[in-house]
Structure 1
Amino acid sequence: MEELTELVQKYSNFTQPMIDSLLTEIKNIQNNYSYRKFDVFIDVRNDYSHQAVVVYHKPPQVGVSLYQHKVVGKEALQENEPGVFHALETGLPSIGLLAETQENRLIHQRIYPIKFNDLVIGVTIVESDISNNILNSFRAKDTLERYNDVSATIQLFGRLDLAVTDQLVDSILVFDKLGNLVLANKTALELYKGLGYIGNIIGLDYNNLSLDGTNFKSILNHFLKVKVSKNLVEKKEFQYLDHYFTIRKLLNQENQQLIVLIQNVTEIKHKEAEIISKSVAIREVNHRVKNNLQSVISLLRIQQRRLESPELKQALNGSISRIMAIASTYELLAKQVSDDTNLASALNLLVSHFKQLNDTQNITVKSQIDSTIVIDSDRIVTISIIVNELLQNVVDHAFSHDQAGTIKLMGIIDHNIVTISVADDGSGFALDQVSTSSLGLTIIRSYVADKLKGKLKISSDSTGTTVAFSFNN
């Protein structure tokens, strides 16, 4: 009793009431007269290795134990004792399954789940030596005939509709009206072999092979209750141990056969989990980039306050504004899951940060951006930098000191061509007199042409200036 408590506390997080349930099971085992000739064990799941661990053993009171050495405290592996994990996972008894002991001996197991409320906390295992008769039942001489009876197989599947025949690449199990497996394809045999089942699964009953926790009687009752036709397939997704499956069940009423099709989607689930993990990692990277850029901005502002030259202060302010544009974009990227970013959200956040950084009390910024436009994360940073440069140019050059003005930021999409424009009602300028050495204009032209593979258009007169750039989305 003390050893069981110690092992359970070591390998699981069971509460005391759960442990008490296991101790009660020990008393039931010791008082069960039918167990006097058998080795009886209690196994619980090992939370660290996700295998099972033996926490109790009652040797036979009549006859000799199948074990020469102590096995309490040792692991029971899925590939050696599939019935243990079948019962732990589904809550169904596993009767008549083969297993291999820790001493490499082939034995026969009857396994019953131990439940605490509705939770399976362990299993009771009754083991006996395997006889020649039992071996012969798994090597039945008609097994080969079942596989080679091509005409019967074709006849069986010929009666099924496309919902089944389209799934022939999946595991196929056919059970007779008593729930015994009479036919299985190669994929099914490989599936159960991979789950640790020993020997030929042909002849085993449905409950021993059920992976989704359903029993044969409940399945038949369900089909009969809903008066299901032979053309209707029931579909379900579930997890078994570390595997993920999609299962389809069809009752062939003509032959009174239950056809079960199992699709292994474990690899797909792992890929989905990997994508989610990478997405979380990317979001964390974006968050750190944003924080680092804000730290750089803080340092530049400190430097800016120490400068006396207005020209140097303005130049440094331009650099701060560019970094802020990048930081605001990464702030948005850090909050989203998908790789695509809503253009309106990105630019509205940019404008908000731009106003905080610049003196725009007399300037009104109006945004009108199509809310359906989404841009990939790589190009959204480029767009933010371009728009920031355009806004900065307006603030620096379009209006004289304390002059009121309006900036219109627009974004439209037409036949997958996105056009973003920044227009002001300032004094305008002569295009032929713009310095080609201007850093802001150089950035704009370079980013539009090289990074967006787009086109830039600038128009200006005495009523204001409009700069627009377009690119294929």
Structure 2
Amino acid sequence: MPTLQEVLHAATDLEPAEAEWLHLLVGDWQLIADLSFADLVLWVPAGMEGWLAVAHVRPTTGQMVFFEDVVGRRTHRGRQSLLDQAYLDRRIVRQKDPIFRDDMPVREEAIPVVRAGRPLAVLTRHTNLAAMRTPSRLELTYQSLADALARMIAAGEFPNVSAPTGQRRGAPRVGDGVIRLDVNGVVSYASPNALSAIHRLGHVGDVIDELLAQVVADLLRDESPVDESLAVVVTGRAPWRTEVSSRGASVSMRAIPLTEGGQRVGALLLLRDVSELRRREQELITKDATIREIHHRVKNNLQTVAALLRLQARRLPAGEAGRVALEEAVRRVGVIALVHETLSQGFDETVNFDDIAVRGLQAITEVAKVEHPITSSVDGSFGMLRAEDATAMAMIMSELVQNAVEHGLAETGGSIRVHAERTSDDSGEELLTVSITDDGAGLPDGFRPGTSGLGTQIVQSLVQDLRGKIVWQAAEPRGTQVRFGARLRPLGRDGA
């Protein structure tokens, strides 16, 4: 199914700004469908082939008309005259008599979508009359607001390109609460959900016929800070969003000024109680901060352990087996500390291992106690890894690079090249293949990984933990290549 942008590009000659106008309308028309209790369909002229349906939305507040998707359909002859009239006359046109769809009476009307005086498309509104009854005041108010927005669309005054969408979750919808303001900002109607949201902020008493700005100001008298956009939102003067917090409750508000002939005649306010949403967000923020602090403290403790081991090593003669063992322990502890340092700077339990690989490789080669220079490089990508995979991977690489430095390049110098490749198998499981190649002396005669020292034993154990395999082999034209694979854990929080 092509996107709206692709359809507009293929079927119309609209300018980019005009196409964006339709995108803005479609991005906000759920509001109109809910207020209208009706399906909305957007039609664009398609030359000799008539009209083409490019978007469709159903109401969440009432019964739908179209159970099937109508996007991509051409209009039939009876509806085409309705669309043509609305488009050419740039006015809202309603069918005189209902039409029947599957024994369901449907009222149809066409609303021209106008920008800068030019009609771009036609919006049709389809109302299921079978569910109609004596309307309540809520339904009458909703339909009145929908009609006002329809007139604004036909006049080129809606949507509003300056309306910010905001970054926080919890945008209010029609079902969450609706308030209608007059031109002076006085509440002429408030839905039951809107009244509940205002009362949860701490307001006691009526809201109808009250100045909403005064109601909110009284609630926030002892609260701080206050969003700078609050004043224009609660008076309905600008199409902005804001949030009000008082007495532990939070309410998201969105204002849509209503205009006639370019003059503001009132406003529609959408309200949503987002108290529970904000509480959960705060819990997540606190949890993430706590996890980062734990990683930071673990890193500090590991560095303290490394410093103590380093002091102990200095008390032993250079080259003695005990000192060498302590120095290796210092390096291994430092590698784990590097992973926790990276985790302390992120917002979840995953790390970008490319940074760790480069830093770890440079740290080992820069402090190598060899007379000849050693260069290093990393290519390919490790990508994002879970914390437990990252720790094992860092230890494996540290041991293998250290072995290459000490045994392969100590006498001659040379280069170490690390290559990483991320793939996935047929089941979608993430696979990581890493090769570490040096151009040094090569493997010694009779080399057996399982009996060659503590370092290779650690490597083999960690590779098994990653459900992978490791192979040591001669490199061409000389040197050693170690190649190992790992099956990575999913990156999701609860993946294991």
- Please state if 1:348 is matched with 2:358: yes
1:322 Cα shift?
A: 1.2
Is 2:383 the partner of 1:373? yes
Of the three residues 147, 151, 170, the one matched with 2:176 is 170
- Structure 2 residue aligned with 1:447: 462
Task: Report the more deviating stretch, 389-398 or 364-373.
Answer: 364-373
Aligned equivalents of 2:135 and 2:197: distance in 1? Answer: 17
- Structure 2 gaps of 5+ residues are 1-133, 151-157, 160-170, 218-228, 425-429, 489-496
% identical equivalent positions: 25
In 2, the alpha carbon distance for the partners of 1:178 and 1:310 equals: 88
Q: 1:182 to 1:361 in 2, by over 3 A?
A: farther
* 1:238 matched to 2:243: yes
Compute the displacement of 1:367 (Å): 1.8
* Distance in 2 separating the partners of 1:408 and 1:322: 21
Give deviations 1:385-412, integer Å, cap 9, x for gaps: 111110122233324x533232212334
1:63-108 Cα offsets, whole Å, 9 max, x none, are: xxxxxxxxxxxxxxxxxxxxxxxxxxxxxxxxxxxxxxxxxxxxxx
Give, in whole Å, the separation in 2 of the partners of 1:316 and 1:216.
66
> Which of 202, 222, 228 is equivalent to 1:196?
202
Partner SS, residue 385 of structure 2? strand
1:152 corresponds, among 140, 163, 167, to: 140
Q: Is the 8 A contact 1:206 1:216 kept in 2?
A: no
Preserved CA contact (<8 Å) 1:365 1:409: no
Partners of 1:192 and 1:335 in 2: CA distance: 39
Distance in 1 separating the partners of 2:250 and 2:173: 17
- Output the TM-score relative to the length of structure 2: 0.54
Does residue 231 of structure 2 align to residue 214 of structure 1? yes
Instruction: Report the equivalent of 1:426.
Output: 440
Q: Does 1:464 align with 2:473?
A: no
What's the offset of the Cα at 1:337? 4.5
Distance in 1 (alpha carbons) for counterparts of 2:183 and 2:299: 64
Out of 332, 335, 341, the position equivalent to 1:322 is: 332
CA shift at 1:423, angstroms?
Answer: 0.9
Of 369, 375, 386, 1:359 maps to 369
> Partners of 1:150 and 1:297 in 2: how far apart?
70
Give the residue type in structure 2 aligned to 1:443. Answer: I
Structure-1 separation of matches of 2:381 and 2:448: 34
Partner of 1:393 in structure 2? Answer: 403
Q: Whole-Å Cα distance in 2 between the matches of residues 170 and 360 of structure 1?
A: 70
State whether residues 335 and 398 of structure 2, in contact with CA within 8 Å, keep that contact through their aligned partners in structure 1: yes
Q: Kindly indicate whether the alpha-carbon contact (under 8 Å) linking 2:233 and 2:254 is maintained by their aligned counterparts in 1.
A: no
How many Å separate the matches in 2 of 1:432 and 1:251? 83
CA contact (8 A) 1:342 1:371 kept: no
Aligned to 2:92: none
- The one-letter amino acid of 1:214's match is A
Q: Structure 1 residue aligned with 2:269, among 255, 260, 279?
A: 260
1:372–1:380 Cα change, 3 Å:
closer
Corresponding residue for 2:193? 187
Q: In the TM superposition, what is the alpha-carbon distance from 1:365 to its structure 2 partner? A: 3.4
Alignment of 1:42-191 (within 5 A): 148-149=136-137, 152-153=140-141, 155-156=143-144, 158-159=146-147, 167-177=173-183, 179-191=185-197
Give yes or no for contact 1:244–1:264 (8 Å, CA) kept in 2: yes
Q: Name the TM-score, length of structure 1 as normaliser.
A: 0.57
Distance 2:139 2:316 in 1: 93
2:321 to 286, 311, 324: 311
Q: How many residues align?
A: 314
Deviations 1:345-398 (A, max 9, x none): 212222243246541442513122346823333322221111111012223332
Question: Which residue identity is paired with 2:411?
Answer: D
Cross-structure match for 2:95: none
1:170 and 1:157 map into 2 onto residues whose CA distance is 16
Give the whole-Å Cα distance in 2 for the aligned partners of 1:216 and 1:272: 24
Shift of 1:419: 2.8
Aligned twin of 1:108:
none
Q: Alignment partner of 1:169: what SS?
A: helix
Change (3 A) 1:268 1:154: closer
1:341 aligned counterpart, secondary structure: strand
Q: What code does the residue aligned with 2:286 have?
A: S
Per mean C-alpha deviation after superposition, the further-off stretch among 151-160 and 260-269 is 151-160
Would the aligned equivalents of 1:367 and 1:409 in 2 still touch at CA under 8 Å?
Answer: yes
Output one character per residue of 1:113-171: Cα deviation in whole Å (capped at 9) or x when no partner.
xxxxxxxxxxxxxxxxxxxxxxxxxxxxxxxxx994355245335535799x9812322
Unmatched tracts of structure 1, length 5 or more: 1-145, 223-233
